[in-house]
């Protein structure tokens, strides 16, 4: 049931693309050995993250021509941190990094060890739909998988429209 809710949420944010519905992103990290699997996201060629030299926790990054990008970050965890502890720490970091008002953020627990953070983010003349999968690994690392879908709004004015109007609800 949680997977169905996840895809409805992603569909609402237009990250879900029916043309890619049969695709599943899968990537096996060599060290530590972690497999990242994300349904309904196209497979992308992954390479070393461009910031890996100065930010060792930034491990891998990939992109595709349809506007999807994915990055995998593995910051070290305080001893014995659980996936929930990592998600809580990741949530705070994401809000601070992007300067997002928490009222525009959807947070959901996908299963016992994976947590989601979803929000729209305006940058220049585009909107990026952000999805973060947060978890932990062996009590030594936190796992942050950051997926973005870049969308060019139909008009330049649409970029400057408020994300929502107080007192109204978004409809999908």
CA quadruple 139, 86, 147, 16: dihedral sign: positive
The CATH code that applies to domain 2-45+57-155 is 3.40.1000
Q: How far apart are CA 28 and CA 35, in angstroms?
A: 4
Six token digits for residue 123: 């940058």
The ranges assigned to domains in the chain are 2-45+57-155
pLDDT of residue 125: 80
Instruction: Identify the pLDDT of residue 124.
Output: 80
- Per-residue pLDDT of the chain (172 residues), as tens digits, is 223 223 323 333 334 445 555 689 999 998 888 999 998 899 999 999 999 999 989 999 999 998 899 999 999 999 889 999 999 899 889 999 999 888 889 999 989 899 999 999 988 888 899 999 999 999 999 999 999 999 887 766 665 566 543 343 333 3
- Compute the residue count for the chain: 172
Half-sphere exposure of residue 22: CA atoms within 13 angstroms, side-chain side: 1
pLDDT at 155: 67
């Amino acid at each position: 049931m949680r997977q169905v809710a996840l895809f409805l949420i992603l569909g609402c944010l237009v990250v879900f693309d029916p043309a890619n519905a049969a695709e599943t992103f899968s990537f096996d990290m060599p060290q530590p050995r972690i497999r990242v699997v994300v349904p309904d996201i196209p497979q992308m060629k992954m390479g070393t993250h461009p910031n890996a030299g100065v930010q060792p926790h930034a491990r891998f990054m990939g992109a595709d021509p349809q506007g999807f990008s994915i990055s995998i970050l593995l910051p070290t965890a305080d001893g014995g941190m659980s996936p929930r502890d990592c998600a809580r720490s990741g949530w705070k970091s994401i809000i601070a990094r992007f300067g997002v008002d928490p009222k525009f953020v959807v947070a959901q627990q996908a299963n016992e060890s994976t947590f989601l953070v979803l929000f729209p983010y305006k940058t220049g003349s585009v909107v990026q739909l952000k999805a973060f999968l947060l978890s932990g690994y062996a009590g030594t690392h936190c796992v942050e998988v950051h997926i973005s879908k870049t969308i060019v709004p139909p008009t330049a004015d649409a970029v400057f429209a408020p994300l929502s109007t107080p007192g109204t609800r978004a409809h999908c």
